[in-house]
Amino acid sequence: MTTPQLPALLHPLVRAFLDDRRSVADAVNRYGTPCHLLFPQVYLDNLRRLRSTAARHHLETRIFYAHKVNHSRALLATAHHAGIGVDTSSAPELAAARGVGVSADDIEVTGPKGRRLLREIAGTGVTVNVDNPWELGELIALADPAAPIQVLLRLSGPAGGSSVSRFGIAPADVPAQLRFLAQHRDRITLRGFAFHLDSGEIADRVRAVGDTLAWIESAYAVGLAPTIVDIGGGLRQVFTADADRFDHYTLALRESLAGRGEPMSWGTNTFGYHRAGNRVSGIPVFHKYANTTTATTMLDELLSAPLPAHGGRPLAQVLRDNLLQLWCEPGKALLDHAGITVAAVEFVKSAADGTILVTVDISRDTVTPADQEMMLDPILLPGPGASRGDGPVGVYICGHLCLERDLISNHKVWLPYLPEPGDLLVFANTGAYHMDLSAARAAMHPLPPKLAVDYHDDRFRICPDAEYTTPTGRS
Ligand SMILES: *Cc1c(COP(=O)(O)O)cnc(C)c1O
């Protein structure tokens, strides 16, 4: 019987890089482990696919890269060079975007904003994605009629969202904001409406667009002329290379939590499953790893979806017929497969109960938020001169912090053989929200360096992320 596995989907370029032992050795020799590697060419591939999906629907579309998914300067420069805008959600992100040459026209400022940030952006020409009535009041007070502030109104989790969102303007408050905007149209320009849903359900987004179109009508009625529907981000990533094996693994995991078969979880972890007697149910914390719908399929389905309130016409056609522009703010969809993290094995030991523990030179926080669980088998690359091959071995992977909870995998991982100190473990698809969102400097460990990898003239070239220049030399 084969062991339960969670094979990671890899972009062919990343696969080729990992297969080219000299390039991996070069990165590790020059920059050490651990390190994060980013592949701007994979990012561009993702962008190309999203663009061609939008183009098939003949829709005027603008893409804003949601910078918060990764601090990388190389990817920011790549986004700018490719001609898309940037969605920034803090003063440092805004400064980073300006730093690579993004003009105000191509910048959106979203997220929670305090008075300091609002003062900084008033009059700069960026488009402000307004979160709440207080913010709109502040902006109107700050605005100079000689340079009106451009805004989108962010709608709070329109009908369909199962839980109340902390973001956006509640539907009951929108009419007053529209009247307010109409009164102050000399100082502030309503460009359109925005939403951003975490949901992976197309139906939720279709409903949200329907609601947005109704608010556009309300805006027309008070004399405003919005032209933009901003659907936010939330387009999904595909992590698994084999959905059947993924299901097989999670089934075995549930069986083990129910007390049947080999133990597969460390300590008392249940991954969000509920255990009642010998039944294990619920949605696990790692459900994103099960997704098999690509970002382009999601976008395509959304743009093709019939809108009931518009005679069942497809969404893209309704936008076109109403001369509306589509904006979107993908984050993780652009980073999908564009980042990996390389760690080295420090040592291997047995716990008191015989469990095999493999300790590596990163902490859990380096590759995944603490409350999630990375359900992809790391790729084991043997160190120099090693001969390996005792067959698969089930282990838990431990981080390097002196904390009981610092395990990279709380689920059992079957590696092809027992690793040794100096072997490398590569964690796939860590580019979005994994390598930065919770990067810890606990125990005074430094942050892993971030490197950019390009393939040209038949070889991989690696440089520090901050020094990356886009192919024509403009950065
Ligand atoms: C985080 C965020 C995004 C990006 O979300 P993804 O799920 O990574 O695509 C887009 N828009 C807003 C307003 C956000 O907060």
pTM above 0.75, yes or no: yes
Q: Which residue has the higher pLDDT, 251 or 441?
A: 251
Across the range 290-313, mean pLDDT stands at 97
Q: Is the pLDDT of residue 475 over 60?
A: no
pLDDT of residue 474: 43
Handedness of CA 276, 280, 286, 290 (dihedral sign): negative
pLDDT of residue 158: 55
Across the range 23-50, mean pLDDT stands at 97
Q: Could you tell me which residues come within 8 angstroms of residue 237 by beta carbon, excluding any fewer than 6 positions away?
A: 288, 291, 295, 332, 333, 335, 336, 337, 429, 432
Q: What would the pLDDT profile of 141-178 be if each residue is shown by its tens digit? A: 999 999 999 999 999 975 555 678 899 999 999 999 99
Q: Is the pLDDT of residue 388 over 90?
A: no
Ligand 1 centroid distance, CA of 177 (Å): 24
331 by Cβ neighbours in 10 Å (0-12 / 13-18 / 19+) ranks as: buried
List the residue whose alpha carbon is closest to atom 8 of ligand 1.
331
- 3-state DSSP percent of the chain in helix, strand and coil, to 5: 35, 20, 45
Q: Could you tell me which residues come within 8 angstroms of residue 351 by beta carbon, excluding any fewer than 6 positions away?
A: 357
Residue written as tokens 């969404």?
315
Q: Which ligand 1 atom is the nearest neighbour of the CA of 335?
A: 8
DSSP H stretches of helix in 122-159: 133-142
Instruction: Round to whole Å and give the CA distance between 4 and 197.
Output: 33
The alpha-carbon radius of gyration of the chain (Å, integer) is 24
pLDDT of residue 380: 97
pLDDT band at 44 (very low <50, low <70, confident <90, very high): very high
Percent of the chain with pLDDT over 90: 89
Closest CA to 113 of 131, 137, 93, 126: 131
pLDDT of residue 369: 84
β-partners of residue 328 are: 63
pLDDT of residue 439: 67
Q: What would the pLDDT profile of 454-468 be if each residue is shown by its tens digit? A: 999 999 999 999 999
252 by Cβ neighbours in 10 Å (0-12 / 13-18 / 19+) ranks as: middle
Substitution candidate for ligand 1 out of 47, 69, 236 with most atoms within 8 A of CB: 69
pLDDT of residue 419: 96
How many other CB atoms sit within 10 Å of the CB of residue 384?
8
Q: Which ligand 1 atom is the nearest neighbour of the CA of 69?
A: 8
Q: Is the pLDDT of residue 1 over 90?
A: no
Ligand 1 centroid distance, CA of 331 (Å): 6
Q: What would the pLDDT profile of 351-379 be if each residue is shown by its tens digit? A: 999 999 999 999 999 999 888 999 999 99
Q: Could you tell me which residues come within 8 angstroms of residue 432 by beta carbon, excluding any fewer than 6 positions away?
A: 69, 70, 237, 331, 332, 335, 336, 339
pLDDT of residue 162: 62
Looking at residue 416, its amino acid is P
Percent of the chain with pLDDT over 70: 96
Length of the chain: 475
CB 406 within 8 A of CB 315: no
Q: Which ligand 1 atom is the nearest neighbour of the CA of 235?
A: 9
pLDDT of residue 118: 97
Q: What would the pLDDT profile of 101-116 be if each residue is shown by its tens digit? A: 999 999 999 999 999 9
CB 149 within 8 A of CB 190: no
Instruction: Round to whole Å and give the CA distance between 66 and 233.
Output: 8
Q: Is the pLDDT of residue 344 over 50?
A: yes
Q: Is the pLDDT of residue 387 over 80?
A: no
List the residue whose alpha carbon is closest to atom 3 of ligand 1.
233
List the residue whose alpha carbon is closest to atom 10 of ligand 1.
233
CB 174 within 8 A of CB 215: yes
pLDDT of residue 159: 53
CB 160 within 8 A of CB 118: no
Q: What would the pLDDT profile of 186-209 be if each residue is shown by its tens digit? A: 999 999 999 999 888 899 999 999
pLDDT of residue 438: 73
- Mean pLDDT check: name the lowest of 50-59, 160-169, 236-245, 418-427: 160-169
Instruction: Round to whole Å and give the CA distance between 330 and 276.
Output: 39
The mean pLDDT value of the chain amounts to 94
As for ligand 1, residues whose beta carbon falls within 6 Å of it are 66, 68-69, 87, 110-111, 196, 232-235, 329-333
